[in-house]
Amino acid sequence: MRRIILFTLASALWAQSPNAKNGQRLFEIKACYQCHGWQGQGGLAGPRLAQTKLNLQGFVAILRNPPPSQMPPYRATVLTDAEAADLFAFIQSIPAPPPVDTIPLLKN
Amino acid sequence: MNRRGFLKGAGAAAGIAMAPQVAVGQTPVPVEGTTPVKPGSDFMVEVIRSLGIEYCAANPGSSFRGIHESLLNYAGNKMPELLTCLHEESSVAMAHGYSKIEGKPMMVMVHGTVGLQHASMAIYNAWCDRVPVYIIAGNILDVNYRRGNAEWVHSVQDCAAMVRDYTKWDDNPVSLSHFAESAVRAYKISMTPPYEPVLIVADGKLQEEPIEEKNLRIPKLVMTAPPQGDTAAVKEAARMLVAAENPVIVAGRMARSQHGMELLVELAEFLQARVQDQRLRMNFPTAHPLYGNPGTLPLNPNVTDADVLLALEAQDLWNFTHRMTPLNRFGMESQSTLKPGAKVITVSAVDLSHKSNYQDFGRYIEADLAITGDAEATLPALIEEVKRALTADRRRAIQDRGRKVVEANNESRKRHREQAAVGWNSSPISTARLSAEIWAQVKNEDWSLVSWDRMLSSWPTRLWDFSKHYQFIGTHGGSGIGYGLPAAVGASIANKKHGRLSINIQTDGDLCYAPGALWTAAHHQIPMLNIMHNNRAYHEERMYIALLGAKYDRSPETSDIGTALKGPNIDYASIAKGFGLYAEGPIENPNDLAPAIRRGIERVKKGEPVLIDVITQPR
């Protein structure tokens, strides 16, 4: 029982305070950047993650069971729930890009 | 008179291009006052000169030393001019890139055994990419002429056997007249669509012994008109396309020339049909409103809305029209992505040149109408038939469809620019930023991108305005790495005489295969701007290792092992400097890119090859 209470407390803690910095570390070592780019910008190898419209629940659902694609399933043995939350926090922390109209090279 | 005396008398020793001693289609006229003693290789070179070949790429090999010497001292190193290569694989890849721009073959000389073995992967690339390469392989067939062990281990009974699966034709001539006939025939075969590499063995004895054959002549080269699709079938294709509600054109290795591009534009505009370009050739202007979206996921563009699909020299069309179980799932199932009742029309000359062993032909296509014929040669007839089949009603419907395609195209371009902005100021530098920075510096020049752009998430295709056939050379064909740099050098050689600015966005892993091609560029003063896409890895494979590690609940964390090119980081600028190039980098700050590229272009305009190392994002 004590163990369950501690686990619940711990779960609540990580749920409340995900660590974006750790998420950034995981983004690298878990190879997320390889397909999605260091800023989650996406490319032909993987879709854009930056400024995602997903919430944490939706993000984790796709992480655990991605649609048919090149994206592997990241189950809890590879990325814990706490780590997934940290990862999501990092993705959410990626600053929005400057408006296209403010970048002369992209105006046309 | 000795041989030198003969050469002097003939004028070649002074470096003057000689008039051919043997006119095409005629018997030779003896040169007065010279000895009749001259090597067979002189005649062989005359035959080669009759084909109008500009360059010969070679790493020196003793089995073709006779032709090598004749090229220099008999032909004055002109037509063809020798290009010194540091690896046979680079020689062939150089010829591959050259042909993409110039539309005709470069000659390559290889040592009969080890040199051809080195060259073989690049020959395979050229085969898969339907590119003509004219290969002369040296060999000593007669055992009595093999001087010592080196000539035994470098001799072979059937020289072409090792590459016969991926060359269109070869021969092993046993006399000079036989060489002449086969050499001319080989050129003709190579340049008949589908273009492919050919190989002629030049026997060492024939090269080096004095000419003894009488009445030698060079057969007249008559090029074959490319095969055109059957008239009735073309008419039926036109009927299907005009009646279609949403025809889509898939262009693979379609345009062999600027004219081919213009024909495809004409056809697409008559039909107001979207063109999905596989970017294997410069098929269609990327800024054209009917240009399909190149930046979609999955990699193969969506053709699910087509009711008639016209595939022109398409590669792996089956994969274009089917969905297969991806790597993150188990097993293998497939289903068509075409809507029910959709019709498929194929036009291709590749059906004329199939072989069995290597599987580059792809999966069998259950087409509704399969037309064997070169697509570019078939388009004029198809366009005429489309024009005939167009009624006033169909014209109105087609114009309405065109407006929708244009709207969708504009929307996708807007999305590309928005995506390009993400990570704009990041380091490593995003491939979108790199592409945009290069474009800003070259767009007002007469430029030519002499590299593939898929490894940069196709950002040049998405952001640049490609409108001329020479502005893009497609890809390697067989996915054999080590193609990129030498192919870019070869394409730049072709661009040089036209005064074009050649740009090679060079992947790091590819350069490491055969960096010696940099020296060839420096040695022959080939102006080209090499910009490294240095993601410090064989990144495609790194992604696969990570994918499989995660898929099996192991770890994606080990994926750098065996794939990453770091620890130590490779200093490409120093490598380039070592080969005699002007070089800068590594550049990690995106704001440093523009001035570096400008400095590079200044040098290139003076006739130099330049390399700028840029640390980039993976894709």
Confidence check: pLDDT of B569 > 90:
yes
Out of A31, A43, A103, name the one closest to residue B556 (CB): A31
Could you give the residue ranges of the DSSP H alpha helices within B141-257? 149-153, 176-190, 204-208, 231-243
Residues of A in contact with B557 (CB under 8 A): 29-31
Confidence check: pLDDT of B140 > 50:
yes
Out of A47, A51, A75, name the one closest to residue B297 (CB): A47
* Contact call for B431 and A43, based on CB within 8 A: yes
What is the distance in angstroms between the Cα of B478 and the nearest Cα belonging to chain A? Answer: 20
By C-alpha distance, the chain A residue nearest B618 is A34
Among A68-82, B29-43, B470-484, which is the least confidently predicted range?
A: B29-43
What is the distance in angstroms between the Cα of A11 and the nearest Cα belonging to chain B? Answer: 22
Q: Is residue B296 very low, low, confident or very high in pLDDT (cuts 50, 70, 90)?
A: low
What is the distance in angstroms between the Cα of A10 and the nearest Cα belonging to chain B? Answer: 24
Per-residue model confidence as pLDDT tens digits over B514-528: 999 999 999 999 999
* Contact call for B430 and A70, based on CB within 8 A: no
Which has the closest alpha carbon to A41: A91, A85, A102? Answer: A91
Which positions 9-28 of A are in contact with B (Cβ < 8 Å)?
none
What pLDDT score does B292 carry?
86
What is the distance in angstroms between the Cα of B288 and the nearest Cα belonging to chain A? Answer: 14
Confidence check: pLDDT of B367 > 70:
yes
Q: Which residue has the tokens 């591009």?
A: B261
Question: Rounded to an integer, what distance in angstroms lies between the CA atom of residue B575 and that of residue B583?
Answer: 9
What is the distance in angstroms between the Cα of B412 and the nearest Cα belonging to chain A? Answer: 13
What pLDDT score does B14 carry?
32
Residues B328, B312 contacting (CB under 8 angstroms): no
Q: Beta strand pairing status for B322-324 and B334-336?
A: antiparallel
Question: Rounded to an integer, what distance in angstroms lies between the CA atom of residue B355 and that of residue B164?
Answer: 10
Q: What is the mean pLDDT of residues B429-441?
A: 98
Out of B328, B421, B618, name the one closest to residue A70 (CB): B328
Q: Is residue B26 very low, low, confident or very high in pLDDT (cuts 50, 70, 90)?
A: low
* Contact call for A97 and B426, based on CB within 8 A: no
* Contact call for A106 and B420, based on CB within 8 A: yes
* Contact call for A97 and B423, based on CB within 8 A: yes
Q: DSSP assignment, residue B39?
A: B
Which positions 283-322 of B are in contact with A (Cβ < 8 Å)?
295, 297-299
What is the distance in angstroms between the Cα of B222 and the nearest Cα belonging to chain A? Answer: 45
What pLDDT score does B9 carry?
35
Radius of gyration over every alpha carbon of chain A, rounded to an integer in angstroms = 16
Per-residue model confidence as pLDDT tens digits over B579-605: 999 999 999 999 999 999 999 999 999
Of all residues in chain B, what percent carry a pLDDT higher than 70?
93
* Contact call for A97 and B539, based on CB within 8 A: no
Per-residue model confidence as pLDDT tens digits over B408-425: 888 888 989 999 999 999
Confidence check: pLDDT of B28 > 90:
no
- What B161-166 contacts at long range (C-beta under 8 Å, 24+ apart), as own/partner pairs, is B162/B116, B162/B117, B162/B120, B163/B116, B163/B119, B163/B120, B163/B123, B163/B124, B163/B197, B163/B199, B165/B355, B165/B357, B165/B358, B166/B123, B166/B124, B166/B127, B166/B128, B166/B197, B166/B355, B166/B358
Q: Is residue B24 very low, low, confident or very high in pLDDT (cuts 50, 70, 90)?
A: low
What pLDDT score does B401 carry?
87
* Contact call for A98 and B298, based on CB within 8 A: no
Of all residues in chain B, what percent carry a pLDDT higher than 90?
87
Confidence check: pLDDT of B13 > 60:
no
Residues B548, A70 contacting (CB under 8 angstroms): no
Which residue in A33, A65, A106, A108 has the most chain B C-beta atoms within 10 A of its own C-beta, making it the best mutation to test that interface?
A106
Confidence check: pLDDT of B372 > 50:
yes
Classify burial at B49, counting beta carbons within 10 Å of its beta carbon; exposed 0-12, middle 13-18, buried 19 or more. buried
φ/ψ region of A31 (left if φ > 0, alpha if ψ in -120 to 50, else beta) reads left
By C-alpha distance, the chain A residue nearest B441 is A105
What pLDDT score does A44 carry?
87
- Non-local CB neighbours of B374 within 8 Å, separated by 6+ positions: B193, B194, B226, B227, B228, B256, B313, B349
Q: Does A95 touch chain B (CB under 8 A)?
A: no
Q: Does B326 touch chain A (CB under 8 A)?
A: yes
Domains annotated for chain B, with CATH where assigned, are 3-208 (3.40.50.970), 231-407 (3.40.50.1220), 422-534+570-614 (3.40.50.970)
What pLDDT score does B410 carry?
86
Out of A33, A46, A48, name the one closest to residue B422 (CB): A48
Return the amino acid letter for B56. Answer: C
Which positions 527-556 of B are in contact with A (Cβ < 8 Å)?
539, 542-543, 546-551, 553-556
Among B11-20, B231-240, B355-364, B429-438, which is the least confidently predicted range?
A: B11-20
Q: Which residue has the tokens 């199932």?
A: B333
Q: Which residue has the tokens 């005939």?
A: B388
What pLDDT score does B25 carry?
60
Return the amino acid letter for B198. Answer: V
Out of B295, B426, B547, name the one closest to residue A44 (CB): B295
Tell me the helices (H) and strands (E) count for chain A, helix number first.
5, 0
Confidence check: pLDDT of B38 > 90:
yes
What is the distance in angstroms between the Cα of B379 and the nearest Cα belonging to chain A? Answer: 32
Out of B328, B423, B548, name the one closest to residue A69 (CB): B328
Q: Is residue B300 very low, low, confident or very high in pLDDT (cuts 50, 70, 90)?
A: low
Residues of B in contact with A33 (CB under 8 A): 618
Question: Three-class SS of residue B348?
Answer: strand
Overall CATH class of domain A18-95: mainly alpha
Q: Is residue B404 very low, low, confident or very high in pLDDT (cuts 50, 70, 90)?
A: confident
Residues A23, A87 contacting (CB under 8 angstroms): yes
Between B268 and A108, the higher pLDDT residue? B268
Q: What sign does the dihedral A74-A79-A80-A82 (CA atoms) show?
A: negative
Confidence check: pLDDT of B180 > 70:
yes
Query: What are the beta bridge partners of residue B202?
Result: B138
* Contact call for B556 and A30, based on CB within 8 A: yes
Which has the closest alpha carbon to B401: B266, B277, B295, B307? Answer: B307
Q: Is residue B294 very low, low, confident or very high in pLDDT (cuts 50, 70, 90)?
A: low
Question: Rounded to an integer, what distance in angstroms lies between the CA atom of residue B531 and that of residue B597?
Answer: 8
Question: What string of DSSP letters covers A26-71?
Answer: HHHHTTHHHHH-TTS--BTTB---TT----HHHHHHHHHSPPSSSP
Q: Is residue B277 very low, low, confident or very high in pLDDT (cuts 50, 70, 90)?
A: very high
ipTM value, please give it: 0.88
Where along chain A do its domains lie? 18-95
Residues of A in contact with B619 (CB under 8 A): 35, 37, 43-45
Residues B341, B244 contacting (CB under 8 angstroms): no
Q: Which two tokens stand for residue B302?
A: 């969506």
Confidence check: pLDDT of B355 > 70:
yes
Q: Give me the total of CB pairs closer than 8 Å, taking one residue from chain A and one from chain B.
A: 132
Question: Rounded to an integer, what distance in angstroms lies between the CA atom of residue B120 and that of residue B5?
Answer: 39
Among A13-17, B163-167, B386-390, which is the least confidently predicted range?
A: A13-17
What is the distance in angstroms between the Cα of B411 and the nearest Cα belonging to chain A? Answer: 13
Q: How far is CA B553 from the centre of its chain?
A: 41
Among A28-37, B8-17, B120-129, B171-180, which is the least confidently predicted range?
A: B8-17
Mean pLDDT computed over every residue of chain B: 92
Among B29-33, B91-95, B539-543, which is the least confidently predicted range?
A: B29-33
Of all residues in chain A, what percent carry a pLDDT higher than 90?
77
Residues of A in contact with B435 (CB under 8 A): none
What is the distance in angstroms between the Cα of B294 and the nearest Cα belonging to chain A? Answer: 9
Residues B563, B541 contacting (CB under 8 angstroms): yes
Per-residue model confidence as pLDDT tens digits over B449-490: 999 999 999 999 999 999 999 999 999 999 999 999 999 999
Confidence check: pLDDT of B506 > 70:
yes
